[in-house]
Amino acid sequence: MRIDKLLANLGYGSRKDVKQLLKKGLVKADGAKLSSASSHVDPEAQEITVSGETVDYKPYIYLMMHKPQQVISATVDDVHDTVIDILEIEDAVRDPFPVGRLDKDTEGLLLITNDGKFAHALTSPKKGVKKTYEAVLDQDVSEEDTALFKSGVTLDAGYVTKPAELYVKDGIDKKEVIVVISEGKFHQVKRMFEAVGKKVLYLKRTHIGTLALDPDLAPGEYREMSSDEVEDLLEEAYQKKSNGSL
């Protein structure tokens, strides 16, 4: 990988800034000065230092965000802020993208990464990783709705959904529900409720597989995932563990 791209991606400034660091002789690979921006380095095999400090190279970033409402799950948008626009610059420069989508008016757990394999494992219909949502509806749900969700509801375009769980959140207010789905069709939760004659007024994703949204994250905040969280999710996806109870 080119040294200027590596250092720019890791937040050492623009490629122009990195050129200056190189010019000043501040960048070394295994102790040897690098002077050209186009020098190729292998950050996994070589020790890269800037001003004597070792560069902490991690090939991928994995972020957990509490997506706020009114922000788009995309990398660019002409009108609205995207989830990438609200990242710190040192994370935004790593070319991250959201893992799947939440609607503009949906809040909650959104993962952001630059690891395509990780994103694929969590969104592939074959893997069937469960996603859990809290919803507030315009009407009470019935036991019939729960049974319909379990057997699969027919959406507007004729598609029959995979079995989903539906239950009342606190067992009392039948407009506040929990839904667990194992697929991710466009507006899926809203369309499933529409199919049983109800409207979703509020939607929040709380879990992906067994990973819960960190309660310390307010809407708009995010943090790095721990390596255990990343590995556990991948393991779930590959073992289809999260499909177990559906």
User: Would you tell me which residues interact with ligand URA (CB under 6 A)?
Assistant: 102-103, 106, 187-190, 203
**Using DSSP, how many helices (H) and how many strands (E) does the chain show?**
7, 13
How many CB atoms are closer than 10 A to CB 157? 8
For residue 73, what are the contacts with CB-CB under 8 A and spacing of at least 6? 67, 82, 83, 98, 100, 101, 102, 103, 110
Least gap, CB of 130 to ligand URA (angstroms): 12
Selected catalytic residue, list 77, 85, 91, 103: 103
Do the Cβ atoms of 1 and 45 come closer than 8 Å? no
Give the nearer residue to ligand URA in terms of CB position, either 3 or 135.
Answer: 135
Query: Dihedral, CA atoms, 130, 112, 110, 85, nearest 10 degrees?
Result: -160
Least gap, CB of 197 to ligand URA (angstroms): 16
How many CB atoms are closer than 10 A to CB 22? 21
Least gap, CB of 187 to ligand URA (angstroms): 4
Give the nearer residue to ligand URA in terms of CB position, either 113 or 161.
Answer: 161
Give the nearer residue to ligand URA in terms of CB position, either 21 or 195.
Answer: 195
**Quick check: is 103 catalytic?**
yes
Give the nearer residue to ligand URA in terms of CB position, either 113 or 132.
Answer: 132
Q: What are phi and psi of 219, to 5 degrees?
A: -55, 130
Token reading at 53: 């400090």
Give the nearer residue to ligand URA in terms of CB position, either 93 or 196.
Answer: 196
Integer Cα distance of 112 and 96 in angstroms: 6
Token reading at 211: 């990973």
Integer Cα distance of 113 and 189 in angstroms: 24
Least gap, CB of 243 to ligand URA (angstroms): 18
Least gap, CB of 135 to ligand URA (angstroms): 9
Catalytic residues: 103
